């Protein structure tokens, strides 16, 4: 087995163009990991790279049907910045033909360098139709989708798989799905150590990640509950995973990716910005969003980030809500100027969960879904028309 020191020092080589070094990945998050956020997270790593290639920053989930149909919103979502190298798209799909076509389109048009497939979505509107985390239960259909994607990629771009432990504790899928993904030619398998039933609650089970590492020959990436860079080191030490995927921990803290790069290089510095620097990052985030979708939409999209950025800082309720209601960059600047910016980063929030933490609900599934594992029929209505969301 690879030692943690080897993992920290070993690039995750998915292709000649996609070398993930340090082996750290920004989790695809719908509504979050757009071009603006990816840029902030990537920039944070730059001073820490010291010649390494860089981490991987995955797009928010893109619906394969919407991409095949050239839906305008989707085409906007798959646009990358000039500095984005390699470019990574996450696809969601339930139909092998449509997923295959989406991959062919991406390769033919040179839209990305890496494609990740989403089999972990726990949202009821998706699982109710047999999509997301419900799909790997129909293991032959899962296999058909991964095989179609790898074959359509034709060696031009690496294809990876992201999944959960299973539907619930009685319907576990990760072992068989991992083996099938490996057999189909996935370049890595990423496991979020929760079932769909757990949603975002409780604790991610890193022991399942360790088990998958033992089971597979291809790299396994671990995901779930990395709130600080040192959690990532612990995950590697405890599971032997070849890399880590970080989601909610970086909400309102894109600089966490700098800490992760430092940690994987064996350095101890952890960035704890004062409120003045946080305010500058907030403004820049809003500015990047405005540059991407226009000022009005950009500022609307920025609203959800305000509470994450300010978590733990002493900022009055009135100023908080005024910041979240800003409709222009000038208005946002005016409100940021009212902050008591000399405040240190609040130690009290270090290591605490952020973002969604709810869990423990019965998973909605199509009628009779659990009766068969080998049904390869494409579930009806599970292909979302739109991306993100
Ligand atoms: C707001 C939000 C949006 C998400 N969107 C996606 C998505 O589009 N695709 C996906 O595979 N996972 C998605 N996830 C799941 C994350 O990628 C990740 O697996 C999960 O949050 C666990 O990792 P964490 O504990 O580091 O947050 C989303 C999670 C959140 C909180």
pLDDT tens over the chain, length 389 residues? 678 888 888 899 999 999 999 999 999 999 999 999 999 999 999 999 999 999 999 999 999 999 999 999 999 999 999 999 999 999 999 999 999 999 999 999 999 999 999 999 999 999 999 999 999 999 999 999 999 999 999 999 999 999 999 999 999 999 999 999 999 999 999 999 999 999 999 999 999 999 999 999 999 999 999 999 999 999 999 999 999 999 999 999 999 999 999 999 999 989 999 999 999 999 999 999 999 999 999 999 999 999 999 999 999 999 999 999 999 999 999 999 999 999 999 999 999 999 989 987 899 999 999 999 999 999 988 887 666 53
Distance between Cα 74 and ligand 1 center (Å): 19
Closest CA to 264 of 11, 77, 2: 11
pLDDT of 4 reads 82
Q: Assess whether the C-beta atom of 29 lies below 6 angstroms from ligand 1.
A: yes
- 161-203: per-residue pLDDT in tens? 999 999 999 999 999 999 999 999 999 999 999 999 999 999 9
CA-proximal residue: ligand 1, atom 10 (nearest)? 28
Q: What is the DSSP string of 47-99?
A: HHHTT--B-EEEEEEEEHHHHHTT-HHHHHHT---TT--S-EEEEE-S-HHHH
Q: Assess whether the C-beta atom of 164 lies below 6 angstroms from ligand 1.
A: no
Angle at 327 between CA 89 and CA 251, to 5 degrees: 40
Distance of alpha carbon 60 from alpha carbon 65, whole angstroms:
15
Q: Assess whether the C-beta atom of 62 lies below 6 angstroms from ligand 1.
A: no
CB 355 within 8 A of CB 196: no
Q: Assess whether the C-beta atom of 253 lies below 6 angstroms from ligand 1.
A: no
Closest CA to 149 of 184, 110, 191: 184
Q: Residue 259: CB partners within 8 Å, gap ≥ 6? A: 228, 229, 269, 270, 271
What are 268's two structure tokens? 């101890």
pLDDT of 7 reads 86
Backbone angles phi, psi at 221, to 5 degrees: -105, 140
**170 three-state secondary structure:** coil
Distance between Cα 245 and ligand 1 center (Å): 10
Residue 64 zone, left/alpha/beta (φ > 0; ψ -120 to 50; rest): alpha
| Gyration radius (Cα) of the chain, Å | 20
CB 353 within 8 A of CB 224: no
Q: What share of the chain is helix, strand, coil (3-state, %, to 5)?
A: 45, 15, 40
**56, 191, 249, 268, 346 from 271: Cα distances, Å:** 20, 27, 14, 10, 12
Please give the helix or strand (H or E) that residue 184 lies within, else none: helix 174-184
pLDDT of 11 reads 92
Q: Where are the beta strands (DSSP E) in 149-242?
A: 159-168, 171-172, 189-195, 220-223
CA-proximal residue: ligand 1, atom 29 (nearest)? 29
- In this structure, the chain runs to a length of 389
What are 168's two structure tokens? 């619930």
Q: Assess whether the C-beta atom of 355 lies below 6 angstroms from ligand 1.
A: yes
What are 210's two structure tokens? 């360790």
Atom of ligand 1 nearest to the CA of 223: 23
Please give the helix or strand (H or E) that residue 377 lies within, else none: none
What are 16's two structure tokens? 């000649």
Q: Which of 29, 117, 203 to mutate for ligand 1's pocket (most ligand atoms within 8 Å of CB)?
A: 29
CA-proximal residue: ligand 1, atom 22 (nearest)? 224
Distance between Cα 388 and ligand 1 center (Å): 12
Active-site positions? 121
Distance between Cα 122 and ligand 1 center (Å): 10
pLDDT of 386 reads 63
Q: What angle, rounded to 10 degrees, do the helices at 139-153 and 96-108 form?
A: 20
Which residues make beta-bridge pairs with 117? 91, 161
User: Other C-beta atoms within 10 Å of 217: how many?
Assistant: 7
Which residues make beta-bridge pairs with 25? 56, 245
Q: Assess whether the C-beta atom of 247 lies below 6 angstroms from ligand 1.
A: yes
Q: Assess whether the C-beta atom of 387 lies below 6 angstroms from ligand 1.
A: no
pLDDT of 381 reads 85
User: Other C-beta atoms within 10 Å of 107: how many?
Assistant: 17
**31, 67, 349, 367 from 275: Cα distances, Å:** 25, 40, 14, 51
Distance of alpha carbon 54 from alpha carbon 264, whole angstroms:
11
My answer on whether omega of the bond before 86 falls inside 30° of 0, hence cis, is yes
pLDDT of 385 reads 61
Q: Where are the beta strands (DSSP E) in the chain?
A: 12-13, 19-20, 24-26, 56-63, 88-92, 114-119, 159-168, 171-172, 189-195, 220-223, 243-246
Closest CA to 52 of 281, 250, 272, 243: 243
What are 276's two structure tokens? 């003045």
Q: Assess whether the C-beta atom of 249 lies below 6 angstroms from ligand 1.
A: yes
Distance between Cα 18 and ligand 1 center (Å): 22
User: Other C-beta atoms within 10 Å of 343: how many?
Assistant: 15
């Amino acid at each position: 087995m690879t030692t943690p020191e080897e993992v920290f020092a070993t690039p995750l080589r998915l292709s000649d163009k996609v070398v993930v070094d340090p082996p750290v990945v920004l989790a695809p998050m719908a509504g979050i990991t757009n071009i603006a956020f990816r840029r902030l997270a990537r920039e944070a790593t730059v001073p820490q790279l010291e010649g390494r290639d860089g981490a991987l920053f995955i797009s928010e989930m893109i619906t394969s049907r919407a991409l095949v149909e050239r839906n305008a919103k989707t085409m906007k979502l798959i646009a990358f910045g000039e500095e984005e190298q390699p470019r990574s798209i996450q696809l969601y799909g339930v139909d092998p033909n449509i997923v295959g076509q989406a991959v062919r389109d991406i390769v033919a048009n040179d839209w990305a360098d890496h494609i990740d497939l989403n089999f972990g979505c726990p949202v009821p509107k998706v699982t109710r139709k047999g999509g997301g985390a419900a799909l790997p239960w129909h293991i032959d259909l899962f296999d058909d989708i991964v095989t179609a994607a790898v074959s359509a990629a034709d060696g031009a771009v690496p294809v990876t798989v992201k999944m959960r432990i299973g539907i619930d504790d009685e319907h576990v899928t990760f072992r068989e799905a991992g083996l099938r993904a490996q057999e189909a030619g996935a370049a890595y398998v990423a496991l979020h150590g929760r079932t769909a039933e757990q949603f975002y609650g409780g604790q991610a089970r890193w022991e399942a990640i360790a088990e998958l590492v033992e089971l597979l020959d291809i790299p396994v990436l671990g995901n779930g509950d990395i709130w600080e860079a040192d959690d990532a080191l612990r995950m590697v030490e405890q599971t032997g995973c070849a890399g880590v995927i970080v989601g909610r921990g970086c909400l309102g803290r894109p600089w966490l990716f700098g800490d992760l790069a430092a940690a994987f290089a064996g350095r101890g510095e952890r960035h704890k910005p004062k409120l003045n620097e946080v305010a500058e990052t907030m403004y820049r985030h809003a500015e990047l969003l405005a540059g991407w979708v226009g000022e009005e939409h950009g500022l609307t999209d920025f609203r959800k980030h305000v509470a994450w950025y300010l978590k733990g800082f002493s900022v009055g309720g009135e100023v908080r809500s005024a910041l979240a209601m800003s409709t222009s960059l000038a208005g946002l600047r005016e409100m940021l100027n009212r902050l008591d910016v000399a405040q240190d980063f609040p130690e009290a929030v270090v290591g605490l969960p952020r973002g969604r933490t709810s869990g423990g609900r019965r998973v909605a599934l199509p009628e009779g879904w659990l009766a068969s594992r080998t049904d390869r029929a494409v579930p009806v209505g599970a292909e979302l028309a739109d991306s993100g969301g």
